[in-house]
């Protein structure tokens, strides 16, 4: 995959840790192949719950959560081998209750999309990605920051190449492809569940399969074979120690089984300004011929 003109991939995420649970093995694979990869993190994750039970009641963690999450992001960044930039917005938190409480003043999800897209347009024009990944219009799940991340990413993808928009943000640059992360589908969840049951292991996926009964999976257009980098992904996940339970759901399936049963990370092609045919096995399908003729 290497070339004289490096390919560039930008992955836009809502919080620190999202980059390690969504498309991380794909990023690590492309980094190893000589692709320049930048993770953009929209918020600092300040309002995220501490999900590691070993740290959940540590007063030092609660008092220093912003700095701790930044340090965790730096550790994960180093493990993945990517570049990383913060957009600088404040975590909105995940509201709960009935009725839902209002979002906190000044948080990311309340910033108008046109305003929130400005720093991302600037980053796109500076880094000049050929491919951008982010979340679908549902945010992958309905966290207000994930939905805002989708809206801002799509707005910036459309605006970055337009010289009439955000002229103060640098020379226009048009990314060529936009993808949405597809983390789990019914088909993937079923395959992982069946493998665990067949091996006589307790499956953590049974409850998830119940949820799929009432909804369809997102379409998958692109399956990137990156099983070799699943251990890198897991190491990056564990670096987010306040957010990931090392004995939790993400690590229940033996690595060798996961690599054999579902060796890809999956994506939905949302926009393409180059000719490509789906299904794909490469986020740069159609881009390589344009960039590296």
Radius of gyration of the chain from Cα atoms? 19
Would you say residue 153 lies in a domain? yes
Q: Which domain holds residue 109?
A: 8-183+219-291
- Backbone φ/ψ region at 284: left (φ over 0), alpha (ψ -120 to 50), beta: alpha
Contact yes or no for 131/175 (Cβ under 8 A): yes
What is the per-residue pLDDT for 91? 96
- The region of weakest confidence among 64-73, 116-125, 147-156, 223-232 is 64-73
Hey, which bits of 14-52 come out as E strands?
Answer: 36-43
Q: What is the mean pLDDT of residues 261-272?
A: 98
In whole angstroms, how far apart are CA 5 and each of 9, 31, 38? Answer: 13, 14, 16
Binding-site residue numbers for Zn(2+) are 15, 18, 146
Task: Please name every residue paired with 40 in a beta bridge, in sequence order, or none if there are none.
Answer: 12, 85
The DSSP call for residue 280 is B
Is 34 part of a structural domain of the chain?
A: yes
* pTM of the predicted structure, to 2 decimals: 0.95
How many structural domains comprise the chain?
1
229 within a domain of the structure (yes/no): yes
- Has residue 2 been placed in a domain? no
Residue 133 placed within a domain: yes
Helices 65-80 and 24-32 cross at an angle (nearest 10°) of: 50
Closest CA to 54 of 238, 202, 236, 232: 238
pLDDT of residue 4: 56
Q: Which CATH number belongs to the domain containing residue 59 in this structure?
A: 3.40.50.10320
Tens digit of pLDDT for each residue in 124-178?
999 999 999 999 999 888 899 999 999 999 999 999 999 999 999 999 999 999 9
What does the pLDDT average to over 253-281? 97
Q: What is the DSSP letter of 5?
A: S
The candidate with the shortest Cα–Cα distance to 265, out of 9, 26, 11, is 26
- Tell me the mean pLDDT in the region 248-254: 90
Alpha-carbon span 54 to 52, nearest angstrom: 5
Q: What CA–CA distance (Å, rounded) separates 137 from 217?
A: 14
285 vs 274: CA distance, rounded Å: 9
Report the alpha-carbon distance of residue 192 to residue 208 in Å, rounded.
Answer: 11
Task: Establish if 200 belongs to a structural domain.
Answer: no
What's the CA gap between 205 and 93, in Å, rounded?
A: 26
Annotated binding site: 15, 18, 146
């Amino acid at each position: 995959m290497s070339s004289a003109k490096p390919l560039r991939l930008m992955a836009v995420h809502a919080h620190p840790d999202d980059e390690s649970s969504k498309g991380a093995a794909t990023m690590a694979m492309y980094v190893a192949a000589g692709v320049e990869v930048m993770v953009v993190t929209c918020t600092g994750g300040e309002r995220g719950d501490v999900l590691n039970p070993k740290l959940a009641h540590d007063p030092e963690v609660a008092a220093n959560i912003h700095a701790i999450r930044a340090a965790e992001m730096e550790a994960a960044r180093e493990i993945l081998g990517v570049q990383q930039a913060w957009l600088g917005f404040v975590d909105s938190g995940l509201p709960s209750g009935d009725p839902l409480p209002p979002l906190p003043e000044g948080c990311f999800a309340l910033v108008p999309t046109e305003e929130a897209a400005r720093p991302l347009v600037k980053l796109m024009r500076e880094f000049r990605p050929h491919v951008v990944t982010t979340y679908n219009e549902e945010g992958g799940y309905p966290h207000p920051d994930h939905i805002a991340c989708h809206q801002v990413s799509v707005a910036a993808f459309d605006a970055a190449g337009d010289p009439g928009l955000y002229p103060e943000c640098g020379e226009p640059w048009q990314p060529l492809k936009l993808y949405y992360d597809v983390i789990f589908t019914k088909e993937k969840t079923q395959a992982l569940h069946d493998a665990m049951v067949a091996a006589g292991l307790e499956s953590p996926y049974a409850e998830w399969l119940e949820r799929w009964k009432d909804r369809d999976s997102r379409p998958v257009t692109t399956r990137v074979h990156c099983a070799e980098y699943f251990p890198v992904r897991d190491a990056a996940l564990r670096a987010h120690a306040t957010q990931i339970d090392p004995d939790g759901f993400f690590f229940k399936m033996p690595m060798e089984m996961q690599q054999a049963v579902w060796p890809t990370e999956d994506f939905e092609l949302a926009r393409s300004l180059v000719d490509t045919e789906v299904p794909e096995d490469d986020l740069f399908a159609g881009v390589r011929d344009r960039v590296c003729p």
